[in-house]
Amino acid sequence: MLKKTTIDKLPELAACLMEKGTLVAPVKEAGGFNFRAITDAAQVDLIFHNTILSPKTVFFPQTEDFVRYSVYQPILEAKPVEPEIRPTFLFGVRPCDVKSFEIMDIHFTRTGVPDPYWRKRRDATIIFGFAFDTSEEADPAEFYHTLGIGAADPDGSDVFMLRRDDVLFLKAVSPRGENLLGGLAGLTDAAPDERKYFDDYIAQGHDYKTRYTCVDAEAIAKEFEAIFHNTDFWTKVSNACLSCGICTFVCPTCYCFDICDETQFGQGVRRRVWDACMFTDFTLEASGHNPRTQVYQRLRQKICHKYSFHIRKYGPISCVGCGRCTRYCPVNIDIFSIVEQAVQAKWYKRM
Amino acid sequence: MAISFEQIEQHLKTEALKLLESGKVILVLAYGRGYDANHPMPYVAKHPSDVDNIVFNEYCTANLARYLTRYPRRTKIAIAVKAADSRAVVQLIQEDKVCREDLVVLGIPVYGMKNFKTGEVIDSKTTGGLYNPVLYDILLGEEVHGQPVSSPYDVLAAYEAMDKEERWAFWQRELGRCIRCYACRKACPMCYCDPCFIDQNKPKWGEKSPESPGNLMYHLTRFHHLAGRCIDCGECSRACPVDIPLYLFHKKVAKDCEEMFGQAAGMSIGDKPVLVNFRVDDSDKILE
């Protein structure tokens, strides 16, 4: 079922979705685009490349309150915070970011203790994937092609969207998407030649080249294991690193958090807040010992976690090549280049 | 006179090679190629063979003085500095964080540098109104003269036009967007505290979550810790992934400081840091 609407009718589509639940879509802000809950249907803007923060913010917000409590009172005064979950439409997610949800599901729902916050939000959300514009040049930071992701992969989306000039095509990918699209007013059926255009576009998504290097999960895991103790290599690639948290905060597959008790004027809240392995105090132990005091140790941890430990433990590479870490790095450290160097590490070892 | 970036790059390579080959320094802090020509990155050359990797172009905005405090004292370092960066070196010497004797300062006289994220020319915004380094041992090229000189405080006009309430609302709004990645303090050459006050648990000075009270605590304290020390390189604002104009506050404090005490940060190694130096005739305006 391929439906279509026009870009100037986007506010109508948005209004329709807002009636059914919360609409979360890219909104232009001071520094660029970000996914935000839409309050005014005219806010939805699909002329963007990608957002600053990844859409993980929708399922895993930077701050999540667990328990509210009062001090100077028995502990029983503490009350769990029930997350407010409404049917949500996550609109305009790029294919590489859609892929990241699958990786994050491993950590939040498929291993260890399932995270009810992530799972409830994920279950309540319908994902509208959105193909990259293949007529545009790829952003120099991106490399999703390396991870085997196309510019127009509908996998993982419930509804997949594609823009052709002033027309927006919407195709149901999952049964949930099918149900939803069937009930949306204002959409018209696409003509057969448009259906062909849509199918061709998706098929050609893999021909769209972002930066590419041949990466086999098993082989790359082995390479990084082999150079783990090569301090020269890690010092060299981390010399410029400032050890700030940008790369992990904008990353769609970084999931580390800290549990904080924040009390003000007798009222407190226990919450989780994003943390970053690039911060000095991330591994600081209560004893005062810190196993990762050096910048190179922290950068090595971040990269090896994504391209080595994660593969060993869970199978897939924990990176989707969206390029955000590279794009927003204040000193242009590029994870792709580091991986590329590790792939070529054989020459490095001979040196 | 147009700036020739190739020429500066060539000078930088020649001098770096000489210094490393003679053993005068063990490392050269310069710029190297990033993932493409528009995205160079800070680069540490340690061997004469590393010198080939050095580049210099209009996107080499990073302030390398940030890395100086990472190396132990008595490490002989050569550092490439632009005008504002040289002030950071001077300020670090004033604060006794680095030794003058350990440094070979390679001064780069330059204008027309561009922010690599936006392509915007940063001259009028965050170079302190200077084109020539205030301190150098070797100058890589000729001093820039005849370029229009703008006051570093010109960009404050719109900000200063706001009254107290508007400024408060402005900072609440801007700092409310902060995601607490701490890139501003990490990119700052003057932010060398270990640990930073905001990372301390006992006592806890501010909340960790990216919400207004904690954000205000972090940024306002940082602004004041940099009073009389900020050398206007603009790295904090360029590092910010959500484009918070932190430089406005820093500039405003720097301007007040200069007006009250007649001294700008990092201009001469003979100066004492302005807030450390007590003089009987110091301005009392701050108490009014």
Nearest residue of B to residue A270, measured between CA atoms: B209
Cα gap A91→A89, rounded to integer Å: 6
Interface of A with B in 77-106 (CB under 8 A): none
Non-local (6+) Cβ contacts of A259 within 8 A are A66, A270, A271, A272
Q: Which two tokens stand for residue B195?
A: 């640990």
Query: Range with the lowest mean pLDDT among A2-16, A30-44, A65-79, B46-60?
Result: A65-79
A143: pLDDT strictly greater than 90: yes
Exposed, middle or buried: residue B101 (CB in 10 Å: 0-12, 13-18, 19+)? exposed
Query: What is the pLDDT, as a whole number, of residue A349?
Result: 45
**Are A30 and B62 within 8 A, CB to CB?**
no
Query: What is the pLDDT, as a whole number, of residue B149?
Result: 77
- Crossing angle of helices A335-343/A231-238, nearest 10°? 150
The mean pLDDT value for A124-152 works out to 94
Interchain CB contact of B41 with A (< 8 Å): yes
Cα gap B111→B101, rounded to integer Å: 28
Give the closest of B39, B44, B209 to A63, CB-based.
B209
Query: What is the pLDDT, as a whole number, of residue B128?
Result: 67
**Are B177 and A31 within 8 A, CB to CB?**
yes
**Are A332 and B35 within 8 A, CB to CB?**
yes
Query: Range with the lowest mean pLDDT among A67-81, A158-172, A285-299, B65-79?
Result: A67-81
Q: pTM for the complete prediction?
A: 0.93
DSSP, res A107: I
The mean pLDDT value for A60-76 works out to 87
**Which residues on adjacent β-strands are paired with residue A6?**
A167
Say whether the ipTM exceeds 0.90.
yes
Q: What is the pLDDT of residues A169-192, one digit of tens each?
A: 999 999 999 999 988 888 999 999
Query: Please, how many CA atoms are within 13 Å of residue A305, restricted to the half-sphere of its CB?
Result: 14
Q: How far is A39 from chain B (nearest CA, A)?
A: 18
Cα gap A142→A270, rounded to integer Å: 37
Interchain CB contact of B279 with A (< 8 Å): no
The mean pLDDT value for B72-97 works out to 95
Q: A62, A237, A239: which to substitute to probe chain B, counting the most B Cβ within 10 Å?
A: A239
| DSSP helix/strand/coil, A195 | helix
Q: Which two tokens stand for residue B66?
A: 């940030």
Nearest residue of B to residue A65, measured between CA atoms: B209
Q: Is there a contact between B210 and B182 (Cβ–Cβ < 8 Å)?
A: no
A75: pLDDT strictly greater than 70: no
A201 vs B149, residue with greater confidence: A201
- Locate tokens 């439906």: which residue? A3
A348: pLDDT strictly greater than 60: no
Query: What is the pLDDT, as a whole number, of residue A266?
Result: 86
Q: Is there a contact between A280 and A241 (Cβ–Cβ < 8 Å)?
A: no
Q: What percent of chain A has pLDDT over 70?
A: 97
A351: pLDDT strictly greater than 50: no
Show residues of chain B in contact with A264, CB under 8 Å: 213
Query: What is the pLDDT, as a whole number, of residue B72?
Result: 95
Query: What is the pLDDT, as a whole number, of residue A31?
Result: 85
- Locate tokens 């905060």: which residue? A249
Nearest residue of B to residue A329, measured between CA atoms: B239
**Are B211 and A63 within 8 A, CB to CB?**
yes
Cα gap A283→A298, rounded to integer Å: 9
- Locate tokens 């506010």: which residue? A11
The mean pLDDT value for B90-114 works out to 95
Q: What is the pLDDT of residues A258-316, one digit of tens each?
A: 999 988 888 899 999 999 999 999 999 999 899 999 999 999 999 999 999 999 999 99
Cα gap A232→A166, rounded to integer Å: 53
Cα gap A32→A48, rounded to integer Å: 9
Non-local (6+) Cβ contacts of B7 within 8 A are B141
Q: Is there a contact between A160 and A129 (Cβ–Cβ < 8 Å)?
A: yes
Whole-number mean pLDDT of chain A?
A: 92
Give the closest of A62, A295, A330 to B238, CB-based.
A330
State the distance between the two ends of chain A, measured CA to CA, in whole angstroms: 58
Interchain CB contact of A30 with B (< 8 Å): yes
Q: What is the pLDDT of residues B238-250, one digit of tens each?
A: 999 999 999 999 9
Interface of A with B in 192-251 (CB under 8 A): 239-240, 242-246, 249-250
Q: What is the pLDDT of residues B182-240, one digit of tens each?
A: 999 999 999 999 889 999 888 888 888 898 889 999 999 999 999 999 999 999 999 99
Show residues of chain B in contact with A63, CB under 8 Å: 209-211
**Are B242 and A281 within 8 A, CB to CB?**
no
Q: What is the pLDDT of residues A216-227, one digit of tens each?
A: 899 899 999 999
Show residues of chain A in contact with B77, CB under 8 Å: none
Show residues of chain A in contact with B211, CB under 8 Å: 63
**Are B207 and A262 within 8 A, CB to CB?**
yes
How many residue pairs from chains A and B have C-beta atoms closer than 8 A?
108
- Locate tokens 């209560």: which residue? A286
Q: B186, B191, B217: which to substitute to probe chain A, counting the most A Cβ within 10 Å?
A: B186
State the distance between the two ends of chain B, measured CA to CA, in whole angstroms: 47
The mean pLDDT value for A8-20 works out to 94
**Are B241 and A333 within 8 A, CB to CB?**
no
DSSP, res B161: T
Query: What is the pLDDT, as a whole number, of residue A115?
Result: 94
Show residues of chain B in contact with A249, CB under 8 Å: 179, 181, 241
Q: Is there a contact between B28 and B71 (Cβ–Cβ < 8 Å)?
A: no
Q: What is the pLDDT of residues A82-124, one digit of tens each?
A: 988 999 999 999 999 999 999 999 999 999 899 999 999 999 9
The mean pLDDT value for B117-126 works out to 79
